[in-house]
Amino acid sequence: MTGLLETIQQRIQELKKERDTWKSMALEYKHAFERQTEQLREFQEICFATQAALENERMLKHYKRDAPDQDRLHNDDDPDGYRTAMIYTHTRPSSGITLDEVPCQYGNNWDMIDLKSFITDKNGPEYGHALIHINSRVNSDSTLNTDLPQPDTFPATLIQKRTSDLNFLVIKGDLAAALAKIDVFLRGTLTSQERVELLLLKSGVLVGSGTEWLCDALAQCSEALELCDRHPNLRPSYLPKIRFQRGMCYFRLRMFQQALDSFIAVGSVGIPQDRLVEYVNLCNAELGAARALNRRSAFEEQRTFAEGCIPRSKSADRSAKRKRRATQRSLHRASKTFRLPLPSSWVTAK
């Protein structure tokens, strides 16, 4: 009996040692995971700062290339004519800035962004801040500057509730500032419905920014279509808007057949029919003009493909006959007999 008790105690001690070993290993894994999480937060902060710097450089190069010097906005604090926007995207409560309102300074005016709507974790990582230079002037050289997003389609209802200042920027024509603010919202946590609406709004702003942004606007529509494919509940409300926006992008890219297909696929729900009919008529007119340029003249206009082969077959027959006659003449010359003179003994009298 004593030996059995000693065996049980020994087994229990071995189990306790194994438990302590696993506990220490679990603590080591936990500390390693915390270190990796902290490194990930640092990398996220670096990535955001790098992305903001790249966006800053891209916008500066674009507007310095396209904007004349005399049309820039001159400011005492900004000699280059570009207003500075300091954006804090995700801050901890210990940073001294509340999560309700985060200031974005444009020149001497302050504009408040409501970050509660898309920040879900208040104790999340601090992504820091970045300086983004925004040109407040719309490019006057573009022919599409006045063609801003229409209020009956863009922006959508949820976007107006979430960001009233964004709607004000679009209506005012400050498309560069509106585009920067849309990008800030797209980096946050959004529902699929809100993301589709923001993508549609971004596409409309890009269309109004100039012809060089039309391909990017079309890409936003494609991304919105992918979201609708993954979420079937969004299709009844947003497919007509997405197709209409794709049609407008195709129309400005002078791809009239694709634009006409997109406008026809819109249907009769969600888009005002007068605008839709106007775009369809414009596409048909452009396609008709293109067909008129490529149309054949005179009586050949209505000829079919089989009828068009007749002249080619006749010309081929004539060339074949011409070759055959030449061959026959050469053969006739080769087979022609020459008359030999008669012997003199035959013709002389005896």
Name the residue with higher pLDDT: 72 or 33.
33
In this prediction the pTM is 0.42
Question: Per-residue pLDDT for 150 more than 50?
Answer: no
- Cis check: omega of the bond before 272, within 30 degrees of 0: no
The Cα–Cα gap between 337 and 144 comes to: 87
Q: How many CB atoms lie within 10 A of CB 41?
A: 14
Share of the chain above pLDDT 70, in %: 56
Write down the pLDDT at residue 119: 34
Mean pLDDT is lowest, of 48-52, 57-61, 89-93, for: 89-93
**Per-residue pLDDT tens over the stretch 192-225:** 888 888 888 888 888 887 788 888 888 888 888 8
The token duo for 111 is: 């504009």
Q: How far is the first Cα of the chain from the last one, in angstroms, to the nearest whole number?
A: 170
Q: What DSSP assignment string belongs to 97-143?
A: --SSEEEEEETTEEEEEE-TTT---TTS----EEEEEE--S--TT-T
Average pLDDT on 306-329 reads: 57
R_g of the chain, CA atoms, integer Å:
39
Q: Residue 182: which residues within 8 A CB-CB, separation 6 or more? A: 166, 198, 201, 202, 205
> pLDDT higher for 105 or 256?
256
Higher-scoring residue by pLDDT: 156, 345: 345
Residue among 73, 78, 84 nearest 129 (CA): 84
- Annotated domain spans of the chain: 33-140
Mean pLDDT on 164-177: 72
88: nearest Cα among 80, 97, 76: 97
CA distance 67 to 218: 24
Q: List Cβ neighbours of 276 (8 Å cut-off, separation of 6 or more).
A: 244, 263, 266
Q: Which helix (H) or strand (E) holds 149?
A: none
- For residues 249 and 111, which has the higher predicted lDDT (pLDDT)? 249
Determine the pLDDT at residue 215.
87
Q: What is the mean pLDDT of the chain?
A: 67
Check residue 323 and give its pLDDT: 57
Which one has a higher pLDDT value, 22 or 53? 22
pLDDT classification of 22: cutoffs 50, 70, 90: very high
Q: What percentage of the chain reaches a pLDDT higher than 90? A: 7
Handedness of CA 133, 134, 136, 141 (dihedral sign): positive
Q: Is the pLDDT of residue 51 over 50?
A: yes
In terms of C-beta density within 10 A (0-12 exposed, 13-18 middle, 19 or more buried), how is residue 342 classed?
A: exposed
When mean pLDDT is compared across 41-45, 72-76, 292-296, 331-335, the lowest value belongs to: 72-76
CB 132 within 8 A of CB 88: no
Q: Which two tokens stand for residue 176?
A: 């560069």
C-beta of residue 179 within 8 angstroms of C-beta of residue 208: no
Q: Is the pLDDT of residue 324 over 60?
A: no
Q: Residue 270: pLDDT above 90?
A: no
Tell me: pLDDT of 123 over 50: no
Region 56-83: mean pLDDT is: 54
DSSP bridge partners of 113: 102
- Residue length, the chain? 350
Residue 114 tokens read as 């409501």
pLDDT of residue 21: 92
pLDDT greater than 50 at residue 347: yes
Q: Is 80 exceeded by the pLDDT of residue 144?
A: no
Q: Is a pLDDT exceeding 70 seen at residue 13?
A: yes
Helix (H, G, I), strand (E, B) or coil at 75: coil
Structure confidence by residue, pLDDT tens digits, 124-140: 433 333 333 333 333 33
> What is the C-alpha separation between 223 and 72, in angstroms, rounded?
34
Mean of pLDDT values over 291-315? 57
Handedness of CA 89, 93, 95, 100 (dihedral sign): positive
Q: Does residue 96 surpass a pLDDT of 70?
A: no
In this predicted structure, the answer to whether residue 186 has a pLDDT above a threshold of 80 is yes
| pLDDT number for residue 67 | 55
Closest to 148 in 3D by CA, of 120, 166, 181, 172? 172
- Is residue 165 within 8 Å of 102, Cβ to Cβ? no
- Taking the C-alpha atoms of residue 199 and residue 23, their distance in angstroms, rounded to an integer, is 49
Rounded to an integer, the average pLDDT of 26-51 is 88
150, 307, 308, 316 from 319: Cα distances, Å: 65, 20, 18, 5
Q: What is the rounded average pLDDT of the residues 108-123?
A: 36
pLDDT at 104: 38
